[in-house]
Every structure is written in structure tokens, then in C-alpha cells.
Amino acid sequence: MPDMKGQRLRIVLAEDAPLLRAGIVTVLESDGHQVCAAVGTADELREAARAHDPDVVITDVRMPPTHTDEGVKMAIELRRTTPGLPVVILSQYTSVGSLHQLLDRNADTGRGGLGYLLKDRVAHVRHFLGVVREIASGATIIDPDIVVALVGDSRRRGILATLTPREEEVLGLMAQGLTNPQIAQRLVVSEAAVRKHVGGIFAKLPLSDDGDRRVLAVLAYLNES
């Protein structure tokens, strides 16, 4: 997993609202990044990604012409053609359906950074910039509010049924991008206890040896949610 912390990232941004698009560009450039292209449609995003070979793509979920899920579909296409391309999805709503599309294993291998954030997080500049760098480094980070919505679905079945309630809680926090020390602090337990739970998660989920097991576990969790 590359370490992009402190490095200048080359970014392609897709957001159809001109004012918000300009604001995000300003925020990114204030952190020293180069916004290679800032576009307003999915087709423009495709062309910009091909032309600039960015370190990370940031895209809105909804763009013209239908304003439904063009951004998600383009993110899936880009990660098919460029495996491992880090992508940050911005959404106005806790749209679980769009998230499932993005995490469809037939369309996404789980390699490369992946983020799914509510647009409100952009206003928290330091947090947003930190997440962008983490995604560029290969992390998988899902907005806490979206994770809460997923966790609230009591009808989860399949492979997650083998996890204990505590293991599922730990996995939910992993999906938010929390490290083991941060999870220990959140749950008021020792890091050793967290490591034990993480080990139990890895042992119970059918994870491939190819790739980061932490990322694969999070993707399994979200796909089953």
C-alpha cells in the first residue's frame, strides 16, 4: 500500500454543481494538491481520467443527464479499466443502493483506495483532506452515517452470521477507517482485545490471500449489509 501522506496528489474531480466544485478545488489546492481537471459530467470524468492518469478520482454520485447514479457507474467503469485506481464518492444522501453497486465484486476487485462520504464532510476541511490522503494510500473508508445505516439493518444474513456481536461491532468501526488503537479507545478495551477480535474476523470470513485482508473484510461486511 503506497504512503501518500504529505505528497502532492494529482486529482480529477467530478461535481455538477459549479459552486461546490469550485469550493472543493480550493480546499484541495490549499493542501498542496494539483486538481488536473474539474468537470461536471460522467463522460467528462471518463475523458479526464484517461488524459491525466490521476492519483485519485473524486466524484459525485448524481450527475447529468439523469442525476441518479452516473458517478457510481463511472467509478465502477474507471476501476474496471484501471484496477487499483483510488476513488472517493461524494453523496448528498445515505444511499446504500449506490454503495452496493460500487462494491459489487464483479465490478470491483477491492484493490486500491475506496471512499464513500457524505458531502457534509467536505465542510470539515481537515477531516476531508485526511480522508482523501488515506484513500490515495489504499484505505477503504465509508462515512460513519452510512455505516450506521448499514449496521441498523437487522436482517443481515450469510457469512456475517458467524461473527459475534463484538466482532461485528469491530468490523463496523473498521469500515469507518478506524485503526486498532482508535477502535480500542472507542470501545474502551485494550488493543490486545481488538487484535483478538480482528483475528477472529479474519478467521471466520472467507478472505482471499490476494490483497489487504483488512480491506477485504470491510468489503465483505458492506456487501453483506
Domain boundary among 143, 170, 197: 143
Query: Using 50, 70 and 90 to split pLDDT, how confident is the model at 128?
Result: very high
| pLDDT at residue number 146 | 72
131 assigned to some structural domain: yes
Q: Nearest CA to 38 among 53, 54, 22?
A: 22
| pLDDT at residue number 193 | 94
CATH number at residue 113: 3.40.50.2300
Domain boundary among 89, 112, 143: 143
Mean pLDDT for all residues in the chain:
82
Asked if residue 60 lies in contact with residue 16, where contact means CB atoms within 8 angstroms, the answer is yes
CATH number at residue 176: 1.10.10.10
Find the domain containing 181 and state its range.
Answer: 153-224
**In angstroms, what CA-CA distances link 224 with 7, 68, 159, 186, 220?**
35, 23, 8, 24, 6
Co-location of 128 and 162 in the same domain:
no
- Indicate whether 111 pLDDT > 80: no
Hey, what amino acid is at 126?
Answer: R
Q: Is the pTM of this model over 0.95?
A: no
| pLDDT at residue number 107 | 39
Q: In this predicted model, what pLDDT tens digit does every residue of 23-69 receive, in sequence order?
A: 999 999 999 999 999 999 999 999 999 999 999 999 998 888 888 88
- Indicate whether 108 pLDDT > 50: no
Q: In this predicted model, what pLDDT tens digit does every residue of 137-170 receive, in sequence order?
A: 988 888 877 766 655 443 445 667 788 889 988 9
d(CA 26, CA 63) in angstroms, rounded, equals: 21
